[in-house]
Amino acid sequence: MIDSRKINRIKRKISKEFPEFKGVEPKITEKLINPQDSIYRKLSLGRAKRIRRIFRLKFQRTIETVDQVEINRILTVTLDEKGEIMKITESR
């Protein structure tokens, strides 16, 4: 699993840059991604790469719009196997 110091660092970053997720405890998952041979083949992109390991921190909360509609907001931080941030995405 990923280093807890790295997780805490990311949680601080998210709290600072995305205040609406402040205090939200992320769901942490680890995923092994097998080489996606068929996709590479279909796109004529040569050979798929090795098995990759990624981590995802999913921050989730429900917000209410001005007209009282509830929306499930999701912010996901994807980390590579070294624990470096690959990308941060948000639900639209």
Partner 1 sequence: MLILSGKEALKKQIGHTSTFEKAVNSFIKSKKHYKTKFFYYDRSNRFKVKKVKKSAQLIRNFILKIEKKWGNIDFLLLVGGDKVVPFFRLDNPCDDSDKKVLSDNPYASKDNDFLIPDRICARIPDNKDANFIIKQLKKLDKTGKKSFGISAKIWKKASENVYRQIGKPKDLKISPPVNSNTFKAQWLQNKNFLYFNLHGTKVSANWYGQNKGKYPVALGPGNIHNASGVVASEACYGAYILNKSHKNAIAMKFLNEKEIYGFCGSTTIAYGPVAPPSSEADLFVKYFLEYLKQGMTLGESFKNAKLDFARKALRRQGFLDDDDKKTLLQFVLYGDPTFRLKFHGKR
- In single-letter form, the type of residue at position 91 comes to S
One residue of 3, 13, 23, 63 binding partner 1 per CB under 8 A = 63
One residue of 9, 13, 49, 82 binding partner 1 per CB under 8 A = 49
Looking at residue 70, the DSSP 8-state letter turns out to be: E
One residue of 16, 47, 67, 84 binding partner 1 per CB under 8 A = 67
Pull the structure tokens for residue 80: 């590579």
- Count of residues that interact with partner 1, criterion CB under 8 A: 42
> For residue 49, what are the CA distances in angstroms to 29, 39, 81?
22, 12, 15
Query: Which is closer to partner 1, CB of 5 or CB of 66?
Result: 66
Shortest distance (Å) from residue 4 CB to partner 1 = 21
69 in contact with partner 1 (CB under 8 A): yes
Is residue 64 packed enough to be buried (19+ CB in 10 Å), middle (13-18) or exposed (0-12)?
exposed
